[in-house]
Amino acid sequence: MKPEARKTVHRLTATSLAGLIVGLIAAFATEGFVEMVQFLNHLLFISASSRASLSGAQLWLITIATLTIGGLIVGLIMQFGVSQKPSFGPPDTIFALQLHERLPSPMAGLSSTLASILSLGCGASVGQYGPLVYLGTLVGQLGNRLPLGLPYMRSMTIACGVAAAISTAFNAPIAALIFTHEVILRHYSLPMFTAVTVASACGYFVANVVFGHSPVFLIETDASFRGIEFLLFAIEGVACGTLAVLLMKSLQYTAKLSQRITIPFALKPMIAGFVVSLVALQVPEVLGAGQDVFREVILGNSYSAEALLLILISKLLVTIICIGFGFAGGVIFPSMLIGVLFGALFALLVPELLLDNYSGVFDYAICGMVAMMSPVIGAPMTALLLVFELTRNYEITIAAMVTIVFANLVASNWYGRSLYDQQLTERGIDLSLGRGHAYLMHHKVSEHLTEALPMVRQGASLTELRQQMSAKQTSSAVIVDDEQRYLGTLLQQQLLDLDEDTRIAAIEFQALPSFNEHTSIWEAMGTMRGYMGEAIAVVDSASGRYLGSIPEAVVINAYLDATAELRREEHEI
């Protein structure tokens, strides 16, 4: 076999194996996660069927105790088992892959996953899909150790783990494939696409063949719309985009409020659990992820407009409290449920009042689901394909497309691309201008320090200065005080007419541009655009101490190396 053919066969085989192995492990891990949550929901009387067996006094006591004690246990796990207070989820995976950074320790990741299981199990209003993304990330990180000889193996296996987890949980392999590329990877490299496709198919295989699950919310519908309804779908999209912004801003505000409360972190989820338990005693539909409520709203007309409004407001508030005050979990499913509730309410209040006949509550509920979810996670294509996979209906997919477009238009202009991107922005990672810009902003020029310029103390003689400049073969030198604080730069032309006994301190130093330890490669390139010197000094921002210098060529090479690395990842295997 020719070398090129052998190389092609190896790459194809290795890529498929990476997707297959990681996909199967992540799929079974996902099933274990979901089954454990369901077991705890039944054991702790969170599910509707288990709560039906309780009397009034028992219901009150068990509900309050379960959520309050559960919140305390979750808080203790997060405080002592996780290195950072928020639970791990999609933003951490995006951060690690986009910036080629390390993930938190496996023990911290497992602690966060355990806290998510307990949060969902005890009835906190959080989602399971965010934690499942990170569970897939953990599996993918382990898959990086496979001896397959592939470049960018870590990014590939993590993406495979994420896709398999979402595919298994939603039973929607196409949406999982697109979610991984649209939200996590943010590029469509063919090798990555191949491996992720295999992994997503493995998740679908495990969910359907091994465990016999049907798609999460597979609904048969014969949707048929009147022309005027597409205007109503656009209005619904605008309303859902506004509601999504309200949710995202409230989550961020509540998280900041929680940080300002000076009590041990372990107590914060406990307080949130107690508050949620009081709400749940009046509106039990707010408990847990809410799949039962979702099905009731989607499949029938069980709720009146007044009931839908009450559940919607209650679910929105308890979700904000639970996530903001430290319960471990995601925001994907809560946003979907809030969207379904709002869509059903919109159908009862708008089309039913304006039209003699319309397509039905179901269609507006489905459109509300994806119009609410897509701006929150920044995945309009994923949302659109999810509708098609869950309904198998082309007409409603078109209607959903309209709501998704308008919801994302409103949310992106008022808030930004997604909650995940805003959370990363708060960490100093701005992805709004693309992954290349974020990568160059994240990596600092201080990683490339040199001693290209001589460092001379201000008390030295002119002779010593000239000797050091000659030894370095430079036409400039950095001047520092006795504590190595940067004072300025001296240029060769300033020394031409000076006597040998002239003291350096008597010369006027040049106030040339300087960098500090926080200066990024991107910022350095901007500074270098109008700079004609040999190198730029790097100065500690706190103490003013001189750290070293960066020649122009080093900055340019760092920029070119970084951009070339990203291009190779996106276009090569």
Q: What is the 3-state secondary structure (H, E, C) of 299-335?
A: HCCCCCHHHHHHHHHHHHHHHHHHHHCCCCCECHHHH
Flag whether pLDDT at 187 surpasses 90.
no
Chain length of the chain = 573
HSE on the CB side for 416, CA within 13 Å? 16
Q: How confident is the model at residue 183 (pLDDT cuts 50, 70, 90)?
A: very high
Predicted model pTM: 0.88
Sheet of 486-491: strand order equals 455-457, 476-480, 486-491
Question: DSSP per residue over 233-263, as a string?
Answer: HHHHHHHHHHHHHHHHHHHHHHHHHHHHS-S
Flag whether pLDDT at 573 surpasses 60.
no
Flag whether pLDDT at 367 surpasses 80.
yes
Answer yes or no: are the C-beta atoms of 397 and 383 closer than 8 Å.
no
pLDDT at 154: 92
pLDDT at 510: 72
Q: Is 184 helix (H, G, I), strand (E, B) or coil?
A: helix
Average pLDDT, the chain: 88
One-letter identity of residue 191:
P
Mean pLDDT across the stretch 505-528? 83
CA dist 64 and 44 (Å) reads 11
Sheet of 546-551: strand order equals 514-515, 535-539, 546-551
CA dist 483 and 101 (Å) reads 34
pLDDT tens digit string along 430-452? 888 888 888 888 888 888 888 88
Q: How confident is the model at residue 300 (pLDDT cuts 50, 70, 90)?
A: low
Q: Which two tokens stand for residue 559?
A: 């920029």
Q: How confident is the model at residue 416 (pLDDT cuts 50, 70, 90)?
A: confident
| Residue at token pair 């495979």 | 160
Mean pLDDT across the stretch 118-134? 93
pLDDT tens digit string along 485-504? 888 888 877 777 777 667 77
Mean pLDDT across the stretch 333-343? 95
Q: How confident is the model at residue 217 (pLDDT cuts 50, 70, 90)?
A: low
- Domains of the chain by range and CATH? 3-210 (1.10.3080.10), 227-265+278-433 (1.10.3080.10), 443-569 (3.10.580.10)
Taking residue 74's Cβ as centre, other Cβ atoms within 10 Å add up to 32
Phi, psi of 514 (to 5 degrees): -140, 160
pLDDT at 428: 85
Q: Between 218 and 325, where is the model more confident?
A: 325
H helices of 44-128, in order, are: 48-51, 56-81, 90-98, 106-121
pLDDT at 1: 62
Q: How confident is the model at residue 527 (pLDDT cuts 50, 70, 90)?
A: confident
Answer yes or no: are the C-beta atoms of 488 and 509 closer than 8 Å.
yes
pLDDT at 572: 65
Q: Among 83-87, 154-158, 227-231, whose mean pLDDT is lowest?
A: 83-87
pLDDT at 301: 62
Report the Cα 398 to chain-centroid distance in Å. 28
Strand partners for 538: 515, 548
Mean pLDDT across the stretch 9-24? 91
Report the Cα 552 to chain-centroid distance in Å. 35
